[in-house]
Amino acid sequence: MHNLGPLFSVATLWALAAISPGPNFLVTARVSITRSRRDAVLAVTGIAIGTTVWGAAGCFGVQALFLAAPWMYLTLKLLGAAYLAFMGIMLIWRSRRASAADTAYVDRAGSKISAFWLGLATTVANPRSAVSVASIFATTMPVRPSSMLSLLVIATMVAVSIGWYSIVACLFTLPRLTALYRRGRRWVDRAAGACLILFGGRLATEP
């Protein structure tokens, strides 16, 4: 029987990390509002797979790899920051279209990029996730965790991500919130775009 203490600790810490507003939250919320519940589910699926990637990376000691090859972490960090900033700039640029017809056009144009790939790319683009995972593992996991415990921890992280972002998706597909977004789309998109740019800038400048 495995000691489930580390499992509960990881679940708690990862839940706190997931609930904190960030790029994944913004992407899930906007896909939910501007597209459909199906697209929101696809975005959440992409986030879940991205969480699996970083969870597995944490199990295999990605932090040690980054310490051994700092240029690799720097490269990933800058690419991730550029991706988030680009998403923010495009969101602000498209927010200039204010009419209902233009809003529909923007939403159709945005749907050319699969919601699944948006969720996956946004999650994988942030190498700080790997460092966070490594830190959580370092403080909660035994020195030599069994393969079963590692798999259970990854599954727990994925379940937490799916649970939280599914709640976000359901909340932001409510008709009343969608109607509010339609009325204030220009300013909501500008605020969301500015947040993404800030997230990218913080990612690029933090050590």
> What are φ and ψ of residue 3, in 5° steps?
-70, 120
Q: Any idea what DSSP says for residue 161?
A: H
Q: In tens digits, what is the pLDDT along the chain, a chain of 207 residues? A: 456 677 788 888 888 878 877 888 888 988 888 888 889 999 999 999 999 988 887 777 655 666 666 777 777 778 777 877 887 787 788 777 654 444 443 444 444 468 898 899 888 887 667 667 766 776 676 666 677 877 888 898 899 999 999 999 998 888 887 777 767 777 777 887 788 788 778 777 876
CA 148 to chain centre: 26
Q: Break the chain into its structural domains and give their ranges.
A: 5-14+21-205
Look up the pTM and report it.
Answer: 0.73
Q: What count of Cα atoms within 13 Å lies in the side-chain half-sphere of residue 201?
A: 8
Quote helix, strand, coil % in the chain, to nearest 5. Answer: 85, 0, 15
